[in-house]
Amino acid sequence: MNHTFTIFGSTGDLTYRKLLPALFNMSVLDELGDQFKIVAIGRKPYSREQYIETFRQGIKDFARLTYSENAFEKFIRHVDYYQMDLSNENDYLGLNDYYEKHGCRNHVFYFAVAPKFFLPISIGLKHIAYAYESKVIIEKPFGETIEKGKELNQKLEKHFHDYNIFHIDHYLGKEMVQNIQTIRFKNALFKHAWNHEMIENVQISAFEKGGIGNRGAYYDENGALKDMVQNHLFQVLSILAAEESEDQHKAQLEVLKHLKPLKENDLVLGQYEGYLQEKDVCENSKTETYAALTCMIDNERWQGVPFYIRTGKNLSKREITVVIQFKAMDGVKGNVLLIRIQPTEGVYFQFNIKKPGSKDEIETVQMDFCQSCLEINRINTPEAYERLLKAAMNDDRDYFSTWDEIETSSRFIENIQRSEPYIYKVGSVGPKEADQLLKRNGHAWYEI
Ligand code: BG6
């Protein structure tokens, strides 16, 4: 079925780096039909041609499929730019005329804008034929505070069917995040050892090499805890810890509900050197660009098992990994299962063998399976946003967070007593104080 994708916030960073590259890939792969349309909405007075030039480089830099003039030409035939003021209800009458004139149907409205625009857009969309039946994809933050987010959510449900509202968390579309459960439940070795008797600790690390770029205004209001932990990394944590269930998100919600409140020593915040000089950042801002925390889950399975999370900007590398550190036994090192989420996708396992040639000396060795090293796997692996756009079109809600998950994890983050951020060097691994979180429990970050 051909869809009309309308992007509110079409000149923003997300559209440039993620949405249009994903739609480009889908167009190259003929996954959008031959009549699809992308209506890019913005305030700036661009002509269609000018707008197209604003994102050409983004496609070259961020699309996983190779840019070619031909592929780009084929893609942009479906792209148009529509200038309007999102807060002016009358402008939506014009938008409706535009849709009628161009025969646009099967709408997917993408809200890639600040939450203050969600309601004005929803109200404006009343003027669009069949808007109530349309799909709406919403980007975080879902509200400036939880209460506002909740209220907003209730209001949105008046404008669209609740099953047509998709709260996006693009980590749910990442190949190896989707793979966590398969690795756990389809290997007897892991399935039966996935508990506090066998597991010593779990480590989720999300290193980012880039800084905040031109997103100072948004980022300074939110910081790493809200930007990365509350959504993406709590999704990963709850997938790792959830019970096996037909209703995956319900099982994840149970985990989030059972997170113990952080204690004073469970949190280390950091800020990279030079952050205060970034554009649109408040003078003397205390916003964290790095966060490390120890989470404990209050249930039988995870009694006493710390889940360490760390994430930060302007670090030494771009890499996301999950480490399951199994208990040591009989004086030999514990097994380690490491899931590589990004940029390399794969699975690494550490185990013990008898040292060759010796009688009973033990050696710790590793197996390293690199999934993304095979070109065929790279070609066949959609980027997160491709997968999510497809899922929304197909009404597949597994790939989206539920409002209850969002509310529960937001409340947890909002209740954290924040400490002063430590200053760390650009290109480092973050503040060294983060090591103390683990040291205190006799643990250390696992390094390959
Ligand atoms: C976004 C955050 O949700 O995720 C960004 O707002 C962050 O600050 C990005 O850089 C990370 O996504 P990815 O897919 O590059 O790991």
Nearest residue (CA) to ligand 1, atom 15: 208
Largest CA distance in the chain: 83
Do 4-167 and 171-439 have matching folds? no
266 lines ligand 1 (CB under 6 A): no
Counting ligand 1 atoms within 8 A of each CB, the residue from 16, 18, 208, 383 with the most, and so the one to mutate, is 208
With left for phi above 0 and alpha for psi between -120 and 50, is residue 41 left, alpha or beta? beta
139 lines ligand 1 (CB under 6 A): no
Q: Three-class SS of residue 224?
A: helix
The minimum-distance atom of ligand 1 relative to the CA of 215 is 8
What is the CATH superfamily name and number for domain 4-167? NAD(P)-binding Rossmann-like Domain (3.40.50.720)
In the chain, where the domains are located: 4-167, 171-439
Catalytic residue (choose from 167, 232, 258, 443) = 232
Inter-axis angle of helices 48-62 and 69-76, nearest 10: 130
- Cis peptide bond upstream of 343, omega within 30: yes
CB 442: neighbour CB atoms within 10 A? 8
What strands, in cross-sheet order, belong to the sheet with 346-354? 362-370, 346-354, 336-342, 319-326, 199-207, 307-312, 290-295, 267-272, 422-424
pTM for the model stands at 0.93
pLDDT for the residue 152: 87
| φ, ψ (nearest 5 deg) of residue 362 | -100, 140
208 lines ligand 1 (CB under 6 A): yes
pLDDT for the residue 1: 67
| φ, ψ (nearest 5 deg) of residue 158 | -80, -25
Per the annotation, the verdict on 443 as an active-site residue is: no
227 lines ligand 1 (CB under 6 A): yes
The alpha carbon of 227 and the centre of ligand 1 are apart by a number of angstroms equal to: 8
Expressed in angstroms, the distance from the first to the final Cα of the chain is 46
CA distance linking residue 130 with residue 127, whole number of Å: 9
The alpha carbon of 103 and the centre of ligand 1 are apart by a number of angstroms equal to: 35
CA distance linking residue 278 with residue 331, whole number of Å: 50
The alpha carbon of 353 and the centre of ligand 1 are apart by a number of angstroms equal to: 39
Counting ligand 1 atoms within 8 A of each CB, the residue from 15, 170, 275 with the most, and so the one to mutate, is 170
pLDDT for the residue 245: 95
CA distance linking residue 80 with residue 282, whole number of Å: 36
The residue among 271, 266, 317, 304 whose CA lies nearest residue 290 is 271
What are the pLDDT tens digits along the chain (448 aa)? 689 999 999 999 999 999 999 999 999 999 999 899 999 999 999 999 999 999 999 999 999 999 999 999 999 999 999 999 999 999 999 999 999 999 998 999 999 998 899 999 999 999 998 887 899 999 888 888 889 888 888 888 888 888 899 999 999 999 999 999 999 999 999 999 999 999 999 999 999 999 999 899 999 999 999 999 999 999 999 999 999 999 999 999 999 999 999 998 999 999 999 999 999 999 999 999 999 999 999 999 999 999 999 999 999 999 999 999 999 998 899 999 999 999 999 999 999 999 999 988 999 999 999 999 998 898 889 999 999 999 999 989 999 999 999 999 999 999 999 999 999 999 999 999 999 999 999 999 999 8
The residue among 231, 253, 12 whose CA lies nearest residue 111 is 12
Q: Which fold has domain 171-439?
A: Dihydrodipicolinate Reductase; domain 2 (3.30.360)
